[in-house]
Amino acid sequence: LKLASALLLLASSEAFTPQSLVGRRQSALSVATEPPASTAATTGGNTDWSPRSWREREVQQGPNYEDEEELEQAIDTIKKFSPLVFAGEVRSLHEQLARACSGQGFLLMGGDCAEAFNEFNVDHVRDSFRVLLQMALVLTFGSAMPVIKVGRMAGQFAKPRSEPDEVRDGVALPSYRGDIINREEFTPEARRHNPNNMVEAYHQSAQTLNILRAFSTGGYADMSRLHAWNLDFV
């Protein structure tokens, strides 16, 4: 079990839109809000979804929790939390991705390979956000179309591994699979698959999303701050 990675639309696709595109007529798109009827053919005939329906599927690269009671306690704790990404944000991203599929936009996705608990700070989130904005600015004027900016962050804590165990000096311990499952230090305590890491991952993801929402709606993403972004590196 792992917390799903949260995709946040970092800034609206209207940001950094060249003046040549302002007022240009956009063709209406019909965006599906429900899965097509053919979904049953690809899901084994069962179209009923629930937060636990994944348990009916084969899971690869999954954690091995030793204490089932500890796992259930962690899951019960997370159930009481609010969603990391809300329905309106998902619908907005869905509609903009549909426009990109029809050639009316460009998708830019970026972020860390894997986030870490001990690397979290506001400056790191801000700098990652700024790099995406700078890349989007170049792409917008190069492609003359809106750029949809999606952050691969706020939940990107898991790492797949080719081997279940790591061996050092004849000592074998479970491989490090990301902070949401275990820790990187090569000790039995750190490498134990700990379900409580999911709870910590939720809290860090919530903080990251709050920071991103604040920067994206608080004026930091405004094009007038372009020179300020560059001066920050000096």
Q: How confident is the model at residue 2 (pLDDT cuts 50, 70, 90)?
A: very low
Q: What is the predicted pLDDT for the residue at 221?
A: 73
**Which range among 37-46, 113-122, 133-142, 154-163 shows the weakest confidence by mean pLDDT?**
37-46
Between residues 203 and 7, which one has the greater pLDDT? 203
**Average pLDDT of the residues in 120-139:** 90
Instruction: Measure the CA–CA gap between 102 and 58, rounded to whole angstroms.
Output: 34
Range 204-208, long-range pairs (CB < 8 A, 24+ positions): 204/115, 204/117, 204/120, 205/3, 205/6, 205/84, 205/154, 205/155, 206/81, 206/84, 206/154, 207/120, 208/115, 208/120, 208/125, 208/153, 208/154
Contacts with 201 (C-beta within 8 Å, 6 or more apart), sequence order: 3, 117, 155, 157, 179, 180
Give the position of tokens 């204490």: 67
**Which range among 36-50, 164-178, 193-207 shows the weakest confidence by mean pLDDT?**
36-50
Please state, for a pLDDT cut of 90, what percent of the chain lies above it. Answer: 51
Q: How confident is the model at residue 10 (pLDDT cuts 50, 70, 90)?
A: very low
Q: What is the predicted pLDDT for the residue at 25?
A: 43
Q: What is the predicted pLDDT for the residue at 193?
A: 97
Q: What is the predicted pLDDT for the residue at 57?
A: 87
Between residues 234 and 10, which one has the greater pLDDT? 234
Between residues 37 and 151, which one has the greater pLDDT? 151
Please state, for a pLDDT cut of 70, what percent of the chain lies above it. Answer: 75
Instruction: Measure the CA–CA gap between 133 and 126, rounded to whole angstroms.
Output: 10
Give the tens place of pLDDT for each residue, 220-234.
777 676 666 665 554
3-state helix/strand/coil string of the chain: CCCCCCEEEEECCCCCCCHHHCCCCCCCCCCCCCCCCCHHHHCCCCCCCCCCHHHHCCCCCCCCCCCHHHHHHHHHHHHCCCCCCCHHHHHHHHHHHHHHHCCCCEEEEECCCCCCHHHCCHHHHHHHHHHHHHHHHHHHHHHCCCEEEEEECCCCCCCCCCCCEEEECCEEEECCCCCCCCCCCCCHHHHCCCCHHHHHHHHHHHHHHHHHHHHHHCCCCCHHHHHHHHHCCC
Q: What is the predicted pLDDT for the residue at 54?
A: 83
Helix axis angle for 196-217 and 68-79, nearest 10°, is 30
Question: What is the residue-averaged pLDDT of the chain?
Answer: 81
Q: How confident is the model at residue 3 (pLDDT cuts 50, 70, 90)?
A: very low
Degrees, nearest 5: CA angle 227-138-5: 100
